[in-house]
Chain A
Amino acid sequence: MQSALEILEVLIYYDAPQLFIARDTFMGRYICMLVKQDERTDSYLCTSISSSRLGKLKAKDIDLLTVYSSPEIEGQACMIATYKEGDLLLNTNPLRKVPDNYLPEADLYIELENTELQERVAQDAAQKKRAICHLHLDPPESREEPRIKSETLSSVLLALQTIVKHAYKKAISEIDKKSKELISSTEFSQLDVYAFSAGSFTIHLQSANKADLSDYVDIERAFLKIDELCNYIGNTEEAMRIVKENRGHLANAFIRFLELVVFTDTSISISWATPRSRVHRTNVLRKEAEMLYAALSNIEDLGVEDVAFTGVVTQVDTIKGTWTILNEEDETRYGGSLEENTGISLAGIVVDKKRYRFECVEQIESVAGTGKEKTTYRLKAIKIP
């Protein structure tokens, strides 16, 4: 018996569709792989595939060989479809045994893009005149229907906003003080959710701020920084080097982001654009995130960053070794202790009158179960500005 198939999505193309998803007239879904070609006919090895299994294949949780050699349902068979004279027909008689030369080699993982999603991101950025970010989540519960646990949803949004905030701060840390003052308030790195959509579960976010007359949105700096961190997620050694370069709040936020991907089993794809930029896309796959998270967890000082405060000292306790300084740059009071083994002393500090530059070690630690950070400062050098 034969059943007509319609191609839904090409997964691998090389001079011809090599691997694709097709459906029959009863909406049954199959994955089909080119196994033989002659002058008139292409033959494909097909097996039915559920949304859940397709999700795992696209998330690189399983390789292509597993799809064909370990059926989801016991006894589920492989069949041959032929493409001839414009018709793709599935022979529904199952193969008794799949020849070895019809199977792919192990460790063939599929890398995909979603063109439709990317076009929507670009359109929204142009229409709304804002930076647009679509967060495509693949939690286990969304693989059968478009839904997500509310806890996972809130954690992902918090983790994204946190990483954007710190990526933005890191990105502007190098620019001059005057320019920084103009673009350093929290609204510049603020994202708002404006829609949700299916497939698997997609959150649509926009920048709180609109683009300027040249279509520039400041939050672009944060997204470029996040791309820098995520681009090498599959290359643990290179990714670790980049995380180390961004030690402190940003490294800590990135590790928490990876932790979320790993512990909620949720691969995340980030697509973003501004009205003037192309669509950027980064995948944080659970499998790759797991390896990087494990490697980063063994490094102790990633939450440590050097910072400096300049201003008048408002409190000193030479016995306890504690201090408070009013930092001129953000008009905020910072307090802390003394860095051990530096021999530094607070004796002689003039309170409320004289300006100092306090060079400190900032230590960021996550408070378990709250998603919040605890920051401490240890003074390692005192200078007169």
Chain B
Amino acid sequence: MVWSETLPQGCPPSDALEPNNMEVFRLVKTIPPTEVDFYSHRKLEPEKVFHVSECIARSISVFNDLSACNAVKKLPKFKNETFHTIKMLLDSECGVVLNRNGIHHFSFWMRDSFNPIERHEAIGVEERL
């Protein structure tokens, strides 16, 4: 399996699941989004020591609920900048997901062949193409 980022051994965890037409939401800085919007924390900050395992640090967060995703925008780190919400429909070709840290929160490991920029739909804004 080829992933979009180099993953440590045993990552993704064995209980991660292949999504089956799963609708997920993520915050991005621009519409249309750019590659950076889908970089993991590890890719963005290669030297940093994180609170979480190396495997989780190399995933990105998605929500299976729009309001849970939009709630994040009310947090200080997000409210002071502009973030947009996008929707993606995930299947097994896209990668694997693991439900942790909240009812609606999933860690998402993307396959290298998956292009989220092509597969997204902007929510609540007119997309400027």
Contact = CB atoms under 8 A, between A and B. Distances in A.
A107 B74 contact: yes
Interface stretch (A10-18, A172-180, A199-207, A303-311): A10-18
B79 A105 contact: yes
Contact of A111 (B68, B73, B77, B100): B68
Given A33-B76, A105-B74, A113 B103 contact: yes
Contacts of A112: 102-103
A7 interface: yes
Nearest to A45: B76
Question: Which range contains the number of A residues in contact with the other chain?
Answer: 35 or more
A17 B51 contact: yes
Question: Which range contains the number of B residues in contact with the other chain?
Answer: 20 to 34
A14 B76 contact: no
Point out which of B71, B73, B76 has the most chain A C-beta atoms below 10 A from its C-beta: B76
Contact of B49 (A33, A85, A102, A281): A85
Contacts of B104: 111
A16 B76 contact: no
Contacts of A107: 74
A61 to B, nearest CB: 17
A37 interface: yes
Contacts of B48: 39-40
A336 to B, nearest CB: 47
Given A33-B75, A39-B47, A104-B75, A13 B80 contact: no
Interface in B52-103: 52, 60-61, 68, 71-77, 79-80, 100-103
A70 to B, nearest CB: 17
B41 A35 contact: no
Contacts of B40: 15
B127 interface: no
Nearest to A234: B67
A93 to B, nearest CB: 20
A230 to B, nearest CB: 14
Contact of A34 (B41, B76, B102): B76
A1 B76 CA distance: 25
A102 B79 CA distance: 10
A104 B105 contact: no
A64 B76 CA distance: 11
Contacts of B68: 111
Interface of A: 7, 10, 12-19, 33-37, 39-40, 42, 45, 64, 83-86, 88, 101-109, 111-113, 281
20 contacts: A7-B51, A13-B61, A13-B102, A16-B52, A17-B52, A35-B76, A37-B77, A40-B48, A64-B74, A83-B51, A84-B49, A86-B49, A101-B79, A102-B76, A107-B74, A108-B71, A108-B75, A111-B102, A111-B104, A281-B103
The 8 closest A-B pairs by CB, nearest first: A13-B101, A105-B74, A108-B74, A113-B103, A35-B76, A14-B61, A86-B49, A14-B72
